[in-house]
Amino acid sequence: MSDKKEKIARFGIATKGFVYCLIGALTVMAAIGSGGKKTGKSGVLETLSAQPFGQILLGLTALGLIGFVFWRFYQAIADPEDKGDDLKGIFNRLGYSVSGIFYGILAVTAIKYTFMGNSGSGGEGGNESVVSTLLSKPYGQILVGIVGAAFLGKAIYQLYRAYSGNFKDKVQAAELDSKTENFVLKSGYVGYTARGLVILVISYLTFVAAFTANSNSAGGTKDAFQFVQNEFGTIVLAVIAAGLFTYGFFMFVKSRYRSINI
């Protein structure tokens, strides 16, 4: 049973990598004028649904996302990596749970597209919809500000992971040859940096929505890409999108080589 759990976890991590590779590739293509589109996770599912054998691709992606959700909640509940019950450990395990919830929502969307197709529901507006709902509540601007702060904390953590190098241990434990290991570690630095920058922009957009009480100012990955292009230009957009592709590649490597305790 442990072997089956490990395979499910590895498949889930690889699927996360697949999604990020598509986000990066489609956005780079859009930036250089070779088709594609600026997109986020839900947009990737929409793109898959429009491809030949799209329902099969969506079905496999949905299964992989379910596997990743399983792994996240297993990390949170069973604590196989011994994060512990102190404040830091609880914070880490809570983060696993939140990640599991978000990817669970994405898995449900993938399942819906698999069986019912994409009815033009505009899945990219998830963050904007959440912000709109919060703004309609008492103290809504404060609640949205808290969401913005959560995104800011996540962005800082991604950048911390990149430059503290605390992601390296599991890769180095894989006993890769020195050249391969060096290449993989560099992809980790680039990938975590790019992901941190994108989340930082999402945090900024969420804070703007909080201060202006306007949910249209908020947005997800697609809106962050548009902001980067408008403010910093197409080249910067392409570089960051390529970084997200690199992050996806790094997830593929992790799915194969990282140690998984079940």
**pLDDT for residue 203:** 95
Residue 84: strand, helix, or coil: coil
- For tokens 């290449």, the residue is 183
CA dihedral for 217, 219, 225, 228, sign (positive or negative): positive
Of the candidates 199, 185, 206, 151, which has an alpha carbon nearest to the alpha carbon of residue 253? 185
- Please give the pLDDT value at position 124: 55
Can you give the pLDDT of all 262 residues of the chain as single tens digits? 478 889 999 999 999 999 999 999 999 999 998 888 999 988 899 899 888 888 899 999 999 999 999 999 999 999 888 888 888 889 889 989 989 998 999 999 999 888 876 654 444 556 777 888 888 888 889 999 999 999 999 999 999 988 887 777 767 666 677 888 888 888 999 999 999 999 999 999 999 999 999 888 988 899 999 999 999 999 999 999 999 999 999 999 889 888 777 7
Domain map of the chain by residue range?
2-257
Spell out the alpha helix ranges (H) of the chain. 2-31, 41-49, 54-78, 87-116, 126-135, 140-164, 168-172, 178-212, 221-232, 234-257
Q: For residue range 128-181, list pLDDT tens digits in order.
A: 778 888 888 888 899 999 999 999 999 999 999 888 877 777 676 666 778 888
Tokens linked to 184 = 């993989």
- Please state the pTM of the whole predicted model: 0.89
* Residue 215 DSSP label: G
Which residues have CB under 8 Å from 68's CB, separation 6+?
A: 9, 12, 13, 15, 16, 103
Check: CB of residue 174 under 8 Å from CB of residue 257. Answer: yes
